[in-house]
Structure 1
Amino acid sequence: MGVSGKPAELLEIESVLDDQVPVIRRFTGGGTVIVDHGTVFVTFICNKEAVPNLQPYPRPIMSWSSSLYSKVFQGIGDFHLRENDYVFGNHKFGGNAQSITKNRWIHHTSFLWDFNVQNMSYLKHPKRAPAYRSARSHLDFICRMKDYMPRSTFMDKTVEATETQFSLRPIQLEAIRTCTEAEFCPSSRFLTNEELEAAAVALQ
């Protein structure tokens, strides 16, 4: 869930606790997503001057990313940016979140390549929802990317589109871990059962 998310408003806490589903509060904004092997993440971590003429504010960054993904999904599924979501037609398949500091910004997207229908029952209908959702249930609101394009095609096209903005080179995760001397203190964290139980009690 996003940094300001409230578990009691976003999660079916009793089911989450009964099934021992881990809950992470991340350091970026945005909504709550179910994450499993069917989720594809794409993240841009940029110095503020990395993209020429881009103002480091939420809407300009969102517009920039939408323009980049328009190349990826050109001619596929009536792709649009709608109220900070990526959609095919009227169905969401990508959620976005950001964090912006003085000199850097991060923009990341959780793509629903596939999902387990049962897992959607852990999510409540959020109080704050985009207007285009029109009070639809989760299953009526979202769609699977795999129904529109192969996963490998998505990966290749995303790299191609990103290369129009940046100079890219592949690197292994271990190489990143070994090349930095700075100690990393993550601000995203797991919520404890005690925190979730307290949130459930407060709701009663």
Structure 2
Amino acid sequence: MTISQARNIGLPLMNLVKMGGTPILQQLQLEEKLLRTTSDNWCIINDGTNDPTIVMGMSGRPAELLELEPVIQDQVPVIRRFSGGGTVIVDPGTIFVTFICNRDDIPGIQPYPRPIMKWSGELYKEVFSGIGDFHLRENDYVLGNHKFGGNAQSITKNRWVHHTSFLWNYDVRNMAYLKLPSRAPEYRSARNHVDFVCRMKDHMSRSTFIEKTVEATRNYFMVRPLQLETIDTSKTLFTPSTRLLSKEELSSALQSQTKKFCLERVQ
């Protein structure tokens, strides 16, 4: 018996699904379905998505979070996901890691945001051991004082999702689609998007990050790799809440924003 095999004895099972370039809408809808219609633990790693896409939390309001005129003009897709959290723009330079877990399969972790964040911070501390000044700051993963990982969660009675978008690389031009959020972590100190974030590629290769993340997961689970094609949820009726916002919805939000601005100027 190898050391790795011995370590896995008694650990709960986790299915590992690796993808590359899967559209983020497809990924999020899969995660939501796995959360609500299965009883397994899942780790989903998607190495990049196909096109630049804006993803908002379930309560996000486009007029407050987005520069709507260029978003509409450039036809940037906008998704409202099933989890909470903030707004991000993702593209081929983003690496996504998602954990879908049963509440009782990680001893001592209560199904609330802070305990889950603390657990994930410990897991990624191992991934980034010896690489920069990694730590969990408020709800972000940072190197020094710069964010490179944004998190969101969805918690049900017996299960939870913790998913992260990691900025391995990003296009500065895409950041212009996002407004500076009204609610931001204190350490941001009103910095703009470019000054606030950093690139993982300056510290670690994509393949090394993915390999180390899988290895760190083995400290908590017996990991079983699966191919995406083998996941059969077709027999389960399910309508995801994660969806693409229509051009009409975005245009309506822009019109309301413009009308509000005009009324404020008159007053």
Which one-letter code corresponds to 1:200 in the other structure?
L
Deviation at 1:192, TM superposition (A): 0.7
Name the counterpart of 1:153. 208
Indicate the residue corresponding to 1:128 in structure 2: 183
Counterpart position of 1:182:
236
Residue 109 of structure 1 is matched in structure 2 by 164
Q: Does 1:62 align with 2:83?
A: no
CA distance in 2, matches of 1:127, 1:54: 31
Counterpart of 2:14 in structure 1 is none
CA deviations 1:58-91 (Å, max 9, x no partner) are 1000000000000000111100111100000000
How far apart in 1 are the matches of 2:222 and 2:118?
Answer: 21
Q: Please identify runs of 4+ aligned residues in structure 1 that moved more than 6 A.
A: none
1:122 Cα shift? 0.4
2:196 is matched with which residue?
141
For residues 15-35 of structure 1, the C-alpha deviation after alignment (integer angstroms, 9 at most, x for no partner) is 000000000000001111111
- CA apart distance, 1:186: 1.4
1:192 to 2:192 alignment = no
1:22 match:
77
1:159-189 Cα deviation digits (max 9, x unpaired): 110000001011111101x365212321100
**Deviation of the 1:201 alpha carbon:** 1.4
Aligned residues: 203
Alpha carbons of structure 1 residues 89 and 194: separation in structure 2 relative to 1, 3 Å: same
Residue identity in the other structure for 1:188: T
* Larger Rg, first or second structure (1 or 2): 2
Aligned partners of 1:120, 1:26: CA distance in 2, in Å? 19
Partner of 1:42: 97
Distance 1:145 1:78 in 2: 12
**TM-score when scaled to structure 1?**
0.97
| SS class of match (1:140) | helix
Provide structure 2 residue ranges, at least 5 long, that are not aligned to the other structure: 1-55, 259-267
Match of 1:97, SS state, is strand
- 1:9 corresponds to 2:64: yes
- Distance in 1 of aligned mates of 2:165 and 2:188: 18
Runs of at least 5 residues in structure 1 that lack an aligned partner in the other structure: none
Q: Distance in 1 between matches of 2:228 and 2:57?
A: 25
TM-score of the superposed pair, with normalisation by structure 2: 0.75
* Sequence identity (%): 69
